[in-house]
Amino acid sequence: MSSFLNYFVSFGMSFESARELLMHFCKKYELDHARTHLLLSELESIQKNQASRLTPEEFRELVISRREKRQNKFKNENKSLVLSLVVRMIDSDATLGKLLTLNKQINHDLKDDVYKQALLMSQPERLPVKRVAIWSAIFQIKEN
Amino acid sequence: MAFKSKVEADPSVISAVEEVIDLDVMRSAHNMTGVDQQVLKSVLKTYAYYNPEIEYCQGMNFIAGLLLMVFKDETTAFKALQELVDKFQMAELFNVELPKLKLYFYQLDRLVNIVLPEVHAHLREEQINSSYFASAWFITIFTNSLKQ
């Protein structure tokens, strides 16, 4: 079915018709919802026209949705929310380490962001030294 | 030791995937200097027994190899592999039908469409979809692309 989707697009079939045909065969061969969803997603992603490109309004909605997601993640922990934004600006491993010792709640809320910042952005020249310790913390591996 | 004992008690469980693991480790050996191939095979075979839902999937040899390179210890590399698959819900990436891989292809296509629309249009014209070039990136979580 996946190969046929490419033919639909190559032959210039409209997205609506291709989707209708796809749904017909999914029903006929009793495909489960997960597979049907994947095929529909694939069909959408291979459209040649740019109708599926995000509009400025959709971009704005995405930004708002990301902001809401961040706020939901920290719920009522405003300090953690503010610090999570600050973490991305810190380029000192020592400072990042200190953030995690502020208190238990902040440690819980921020450790993923702090580890990410330490691995990807902060003091890259120290990576060979710090990698094992950070990975051990992420994977919750205790020192032997 | 517990996993090792289980494998020792019933070696037939793991024998089905042993050949594939041996071949893959041999093929990827040039990418992993400093990794003991026997240790790497041992980690992968133990994991195949430990997690029968996944057993072994091509690409895991690169991931386990990198973990061995970093941790330099068989037990720690095994624990890291186990935690990595659990923490980031990678079972769906390694499952027989690779459902998460298909999702990643879709997401990559959408991102290219959004960020680089001209590139996306060109790839579409040439009938190239992301599965042609991105399978190894996702299935090995980019470990096959890393420099030594």
Domain ranges of chain A: 2-52, 75-138
Q: Render B31-79 in DSSP notation, one character per residue.
A: G-TT--HHHHHHHHHHHHHH-TTT---TTHHHHHHHHHHHH--HHHHHH
Residue B62 lies in a domain: yes
Residue B134 lies in a domain: no
Give the residue among A96, A4, A95 at the shortest CA–CA distance from A42. A4
**What's the whole-number mean pLDDT along residues A108-136?**
93
pLDDT of residue B148: 53
The total domain count for chain B is 1
pLDDT of residue B50: 86
Residue B67 lies in a domain: yes
Structural domain that includes position B68: 2-90
Residue B31 lies in a domain: yes
Tell me A53's DSSP state: S
- Nearest CB among B73, B106, B121 relative to A42 is that of B106
- Nearest CB among A34, A47, A139 relative to B99 is that of A34
**Taking the model in full, what pTM does it have?**
0.73
**What's the whole-number mean pLDDT along residues A92-117?**
93
The answer to whether the CB atoms of B75 and A144 lie below 8 A apart is yes
- Whether A11 and chain B come into contact, CB under 8 Å, resolves to no
Return d(Cα B142, Cα B20) in angstroms, integer: 21
pLDDT of residue A133: 94
| pLDDT tens, residue by residue, B12-63 | 656 768 888 999 998 887 778 788 999 999 999 999 888 878 888 888 999 9
- Host H or E run for residue A26: helix A15-28
| pLDDT tens, residue by residue, B8-26 | 676 665 676 888 899 999 8
Q: What is the domain-level CATH number for residue B72?
A: 1.10.8.270
Residue B140 lies in a domain: no
- Whether A42 and chain B come into contact, CB under 8 Å, resolves to yes
Number of H helices, E strands in chain B: 9, 0
Residue B146 lies in a domain: no
Distance in Å, alpha carbon of A34 to nearest chain B alpha carbon: 9
ipTM, interface predicted TM-score of the complex: 0.78
| pLDDT tens, residue by residue, A27-62 | 888 887 767 777 877 777 676 655 556 677 877 888
CA end-to-end span of chain B: 31
